[in-house]
A and B are shown apart, each in its own frame.
Chain A
Amino acid sequence: MPSEEHRIDPTQLAQITDLELLARIVVDGFMTGLHRSPRFGTSIEFAQYRAYTQGDDPRFIDWSLYARTDRLHTKLFQDDTNLRCTIMIDCSASMNYASGAVSKFQYARMLAACLALLLFRQKDGIGLIGFQESAELYLPPRNSARHLRRLQVELNSLQAKGKTDISRALEYAGDVSPPRGMLILISDLLHPVESTIAPLRLMRARNHDAIVFQISDPSEQTFPFKKSVTLLDAESDREQFVVPDSIREEYLENRERHFSQIRNECLAVEIDVDEFVTDEPLDRALHAFLQRRTQTLSSGQARRNQSVMGGFG
């Protein structure tokens, strides 16, 4: 758990244009070690034995045990480097909204960079999908410094514009992501519930893990406008005259209803949804993510099939 003094205001982070530097600042201040790979693989940390079957790597046969028992057993190790994680970042125009110094898109980009660095250091593969109405950018998961650098460059070059179609983007991600990978969706989720939930369910059915980071602006949470104003929809260019005092309550109710429905639907398929506000420190977001992820893993480990994986398979 990072101490309070290590937390850095996103407003200050936004002034750092180099995403790599930004990610280092955030992640270096973040306590490492909480992360554990959910896969068994080749590592120095022994996990258990399993009876040898044809095809197992003969390097992992425990010959000592064979000498004592006259049976072939293969050693299984805790695999902590083989997570293939794809970060999906919403690049629609609605993400460009900022009531303060940091827009939702900036915040999402900083969060993605930090997650990428964090995952890289844990030897996980990191992929990236930038999407609007369809996927605009796809980087398959890799774990190399070069790949990380490229990912950060691509992140830096992304621009928020146009409309969103999360369902198409998720369908695309489901197609291109390696099986049993992990999907991190960073979006404002300003999209109809059904078309968002349906592809997420499908991904869970394909045994993908998914986690959703919902990015919100403080103004969206409180609707603080005082004067009558004409609101222009960032994506559809639709205009509407509003008297804020008269509609605030209804707006907040509508919003809460929308996101509650998404949270409930995601919870039903074991997908975590966390909301981050753009004035919230990033490391707190990372910590919350990792901690919740660990809890999810530990509770779901019993149900998981233990697989014997040789090397980096």
Chain B
Amino acid sequence: MSFTFLAPILLAGLALPIVPWLIHQIRRPERETVVFSSLMFVPSIKQKIIERRTIQHLLLMLLRMLLLILLAFAFSRPSRILTAPAPESVETGRSVILIDTSYSMGVGDQFQEAKEEALSIARSLGPLERAGVIAFNDRPDVLAPLTVEGESIAANHSRIQQAIEKTELSGNGTSYLSALQAAQDLLLAGFKAENPSEEKCVVYLISDFQKTGMPETDGRWKLSPRISLQPISIGTAVQKQFSIVDVIAQANQTGSLRIAGRIRNQSTVAASPCTVKLFIDGAEAARQSILVQPGNTSKISFDLPIQTNDFHEGYLELEEDALNLDNRRYFAWNPSRKKRIVLIADPRPETRWPGAWFLMRALQVDADIHWDFKVIQQDELTGIIDESPDILLAGDLDGLTKQTAETLLRFAQEGKSVFLCLNASMKQEAINENLLSALGLKHAGFRDPTTHETPFELLSWIDFDHPIFFPFQGSQYNDFSSIHFTNYVRIESIPSDEDAGAYPVVKTLARFESDVPAILEIPYGEGMVLLLTFPLELEWTNLMRSPKFLPLLFESLQHLAGREEERRAWQVGERVTAAPEQVSGELNWSVQPPGEDSLMRFESANSPILLEKAGFLRWRSNGAPEENIIEAVNVDAHESDLTRAPLEEFEGKLCAASFLDRETISQTAEGEELESDLIITDEFGRFFLILFFIGLLMECWYAFRLSKKASSETA
């Protein structure tokens, strides 16, 4: 350990103390001697005062000189440094070998090369040097800790060699930050804090130094300057490297399955054609050749004439190149479960075009893949409830019995949806008492045509932000002026009664010109009621003849049925967790991760299952076999980008102390230490600066005191 100055040139400031000396000399009281006739009347000044003043001024000058010396010292940054001895000459020390196991290391023999480098380091360790091994990809894995209780150093060396030999390539991405953090934690955990200079700490980082493994921003964490980093770069630039960036399966309009993917040319050489094969359900289904420019991405798609209501799994595959793990990308197709819609349509012989007629034609579409549709009458409602439909579409009721009203409310209470159209056959008192009063509404009669100039009304206000009207937001779709309403049921809200409790919050989605609600959304229990204040009959409205009818109906049903949950794409290295109800509920889920032959049960909601390989993640529900799911697990697409990070960037983002100048700063003179081996342990610049400010305060106080005293003595 020794002291040095980080900015020695500023020591030239030590010449500054001459300034106060000069000022004191210049401002010294003039001692002009004047011959005077006689001193017999001149009162004598005490010589002691003069001597004291002289000493005080001298002290002030010395204080000022000291202040400037302190300032010069503060800016020249005196530091205590540790001289890290050269590895060859050090007998004690601690090292951590970091081996990159991300799948990008699978290029050629890179990974084997990395292991050999690691073994070479392990063999060259000094007799008193302990080491540990961390394999890292997107997360670190301590394969061999630095110390095991009672273990000799020779045993430590042997253990780390075994750990290195057992290291395997993973399918994960890269994260240098977490790897270095783990290495630092391992090294500093047993660091002799009371005498740090005794041990050297070295991290050997064996990696391909991919740019994708770098943190995006310059974070606050940096590798401690007490730790010496030795980067060992593996591999060279590749000639040919294609990767499948992503792949999705989707149903197209014709009911067939479309597989679309994106292929990226990661190499830097000239473009060459690449063959993409599609495998589905275990067999090759198609292949295409595609030309991708270097550094570019191209799309590719396959249309398969297969049913989308079955499970399908498959993958896209590229021909072999420098890195093969990213040449296959999996996808899975899970058929969406059809929503069950039950239309209650009572026979209405008196009506030529009953509302049910339009609804039946609207929903009985051959190519419909979204729902199962069933038509019943009001008296069949109780039996159909046991089949647990998703939506009850009360579109054309002939009156409303109390039992039907209770069923509808109970149905909504349990979390399902009701689509209800009011009509003239429903008696005002009955519907108020049996149904609407529970929703906080009341039937207030029908439209009064005498109060309006026109025989019909339009919709004057529509909530286009609501999901059922959302598709009509554009200016070319939002014109509802061609839809006329000659009659409707005037619905009013009932004021909340404190005794009866609060009513549901009713949301109006559309209003007539008379400001009367036209369409209402009423949350009830766990479910929802969508209420139309008019029947879908031509005597009441021409909505059904409008091109807006079908989209509005479909969006309404989609909204009531709930949106389809999108399946997520998994990555190798992620951990699968289950919700508590999935683990212990009736569904009782199990999973089969890629590479596993059997299903695995979640021990608890907090015990995730690690996805170690690419493939398919199969979910099985013992409680509801129809709910089974297949999800694809793929490698991190970013990892296939083999662009290397410059070491300058690596140093700037992750290391507090420089390691790059290790090669360039050579011994400047014989016997002189390498600068890169110097570790600053303490810097005293701030200490001197604090002393300077304290001294400055003292100087001000002392000068003020002297001035005050001098003036009082003069007085």
Residues of A near any B CB (own CB < 8 A): 94-95, 97, 104, 188, 190, 217, 220, 225, 227-236, 238-243, 245-247, 250-252, 254-255, 258
Q: Does B26 contact A (CB under 8 A)?
A: no
Which 7 A-B residue pairings sit nearest by Cβ, starting from the closest? A97-B37, A254-B41, A190-B38, A94-B37, A231-B36, A255-B41, A233-B39
**Is A247's CB under 8 angstroms from B37's CB?**
no
Task: Choose, from B42-50, B58-66, B109-117, B485-493, the stretch at the interface.
Answer: B42-50
Counting chain A CB atoms within 10 Å of each CB, which of B31, B35, B36, B45 scores highest?
B36
A residues near B476, Cβ cutoff 8 Å: none
**Is A245's CB under 8 angstroms from B37's CB?**
no
Residue of B nearest to A237 (CB): B35
Give the shortest distance, in Å, between B699 (CB) and chain A (any CB).
24
**Is B33's CB under 8 angstroms from A239's CB?**
yes
Identify B44's interface contact among A95, A240, A258, CB under 8 A: A240
Whole-angstrom distance between the alpha carbons of A252 and B35 in the complex?
Answer: 18
**Is B43's CB under 8 angstroms from A234's CB?**
no
How many inter-chain residue pairs (CB < 8 Å) link A and B?
A: 80
B residues near A97, Cβ cutoff 8 Å: 35-37
B residues near A245, Cβ cutoff 8 Å: 714
Q: Does B498 contact A (CB under 8 A)?
A: no
Please list 6 pairs of residues, one from A and one from B, whose beta carbons are closer than 8 Å in the complex, sorted by A's number: A228-B30, A230-B33, A232-B36, A240-B44, A252-B41, A258-B41
Whole-angstrom distance between the alpha carbons of A240 and B44 in the complex?
Answer: 7
B residues near A232, Cβ cutoff 8 Å: 33-36
Given contacts A229-B32, A231-B35, A238-B39, 18 further A-B contacts (CB under 8 A): A97-B36, A97-B37, A104-B37, A190-B37, A190-B38, A228-B29, A228-B31, A230-B32, A230-B34, A231-B33, A231-B39, A232-B34, A240-B45, A242-B45, A247-B42, A251-B41, A255-B41, A258-B41
Whole-angstrom distance between the alpha carbons of A94 and B387 in the complex?
Answer: 139
B residues near A104, Cβ cutoff 8 Å: 37
**Is A217's CB under 8 angstroms from B37's CB?**
yes
Residue of A nearest to B41 (CB): A254
**Is B42's CB under 8 angstroms from A188's CB?**
no
Give the shortest distance, in Å, between A238 (CB) and chain B (any CB).
6
**Is B714's CB under 8 angstroms from A243's CB?**
yes
User: How big is the B interface, by class?
Assistant: 20 to 34
Residue of A nearest to B44 (CB): A240
**Is A251's CB under 8 angstroms from B34's CB?**
no
Whole-angstrom distance between the alpha carbons of A258 and B39 in the complex?
Answer: 13
Residue of A nearest to B38 (CB): A190
Give the shortest distance, in Å, between A74 (CB) and chain B (any CB).
54
Give the shortest distance, in Å, between B512 (CB) and chain A (any CB).
103
Residue of A nearest to B29 (CB): A228
Residue of B nearest to A259 (CB): B41
**Is B39's CB under 8 angstroms from A220's CB?**
no
Q: Does B193 contact A (CB under 8 A)?
A: no
Residues of B near any A CB (own CB < 8 A): 29-45, 50, 713-714
Whole-angstrom distance between the alpha carbons of A217 and B36 in the complex?
Answer: 10
B residues near A231, Cβ cutoff 8 Å: 33-36, 39, 42
Dominant secondary structure of chain B at its interface with chain A: loop
Whole-angstrom distance between the alpha carbons of A255 and B38 in the complex?
Answer: 11
Whole-angstrom distance between the alpha carbons of A243 and B35 in the complex?
Answer: 15
Residue of B nearest to A243 (CB): B714
**Is B33's CB under 8 angstroms from A251's CB?**
no
A residues near B44, Cβ cutoff 8 Å: 240
Whole-angstrom distance between the alpha carbons of A248 and B482 in the complex?
Answer: 114
Residue of A nearest to B34 (CB): A229
Whole-angstrom distance between the alpha carbons of A50 and B31 in the complex?
Answer: 72
A residues near B39, Cβ cutoff 8 Å: 231, 233, 236, 238, 240
Identify B36's interface contact among A227, A233, A250, CB under 8 A: A233
A residues near B41, Cβ cutoff 8 Å: 251-252, 254-255, 258
Identify A227's interface contact among B30, B45, B50, B713, CB under 8 A: B30
Give the shortest distance, in Å, between B171 (CB) and chain A (any CB).
92
Whole-angstrom distance between the alpha carbons of A292 and B283 in the complex?
Answer: 152
Whole-angstrom distance between the alpha carbons of A251 and B41 in the complex?
Answer: 5
Residue of B nearest to A252 (CB): B41
Whole-angstrom distance between the alpha carbons of A252 and B32 in the complex?
Answer: 22
**Is A242's CB under 8 angstroms from B42's CB?**
yes
**Is A243's CB under 8 angstroms from B45's CB?**
yes
Whole-angstrom distance between the alpha carbons of A97 and B35 in the complex?
Answer: 8
**Is A241's CB under 8 angstroms from B50's CB?**
yes
B residues near A227, Cβ cutoff 8 Å: 30, 32
Whole-angstrom distance between the alpha carbons of A239 and B36 in the complex?
Answer: 10
Residue of A nearest to B40 (CB): A190
Task: Given A228-B29, A228-B30, check contact A234 B42 (CB 8 Å).
Answer: no
Identify A233's interface contact among B31, B38, B713, CB under 8 A: B38
Whole-angstrom distance between the alpha carbons of A100 and B256 in the complex?
Answer: 127
Give the shortest distance, in Å, between A197 (CB) and chain B (any CB).
16
Whole-angstrom distance between the alpha carbons of A233 and B35 in the complex?
Answer: 6
Counting chain A CB atoms within 10 Å of each CB, which of B38, B40, B714 scores highest?
B38
**Is B43's CB under 8 angstroms from A251's CB?**
yes
Give the shortest distance, in Å, between A178 (CB) and chain B (any CB).
33
B residues near A94, Cβ cutoff 8 Å: 37-38
**Is B38's CB under 8 angstroms from A241's CB?**
no
Counting chain A CB atoms within 10 Å of each CB, which of B33, B37, B40, B43 scores highest?
B37
A residues near B38, Cβ cutoff 8 Å: 94, 188, 190, 233-235
A residues near B30, Cβ cutoff 8 Å: 227-229
Whole-angstrom distance between the alpha carbons of A31 and B36 in the complex?
Answer: 37
Task: Given A190-B38, A241-B50, A255-B41, check contact A230 B714 (CB 8 Å).
Answer: no
A residues near B29, Cβ cutoff 8 Å: 228
Whole-angstrom distance between the alpha carbons of A188 and B29 in the complex?
Answer: 32
B residues near A250, Cβ cutoff 8 Å: 43
B residues near A229, Cβ cutoff 8 Å: 30-34
A residues near B34, Cβ cutoff 8 Å: 225, 229-232
Give the shortest distance, in Å, between A90 (CB) and chain B (any CB).
11
Whole-angstrom distance between the alpha carbons of A241 and B44 in the complex?
Answer: 8
Give the shortest distance, in Å, between A160 (CB) and chain B (any CB).
11
B residues near A95, Cβ cutoff 8 Å: 37
Give the shortest distance, in Å, between A113 (CB) and chain B (any CB).
22
B residues near A235, Cβ cutoff 8 Å: 38
**Is A241's CB under 8 angstroms from B37's CB?**
no
A residues near B714, Cβ cutoff 8 Å: 243, 245-246
Whole-angstrom distance between the alpha carbons of A94 and B35 in the complex?
Answer: 9
A residues near B43, Cβ cutoff 8 Å: 247, 250-251, 254
**Is A251's CB under 8 angstroms from B42's CB?**
yes
Identify A188's interface contact among B35, B37, B50, CB under 8 A: B37
Give the shortest distance, in Å, between B53 (CB) and chain A (any CB).
11
Whole-angstrom distance between the alpha carbons of A246 and B713 in the complex?
Answer: 9
Whole-angstrom distance between the alpha carbons of A308 and B41 in the complex?
Answer: 49
Whole-angstrom distance between the alpha carbons of A77 and B31 in the complex?
Answer: 66
B residues near A243, Cβ cutoff 8 Å: 45, 714
A residues near B45, Cβ cutoff 8 Å: 240-243, 246-247
Whole-angstrom distance between the alpha carbons of A251 and B713 in the complex?
Answer: 17
Whole-angstrom distance between the alpha carbons of A254 and B40 in the complex?
Answer: 9
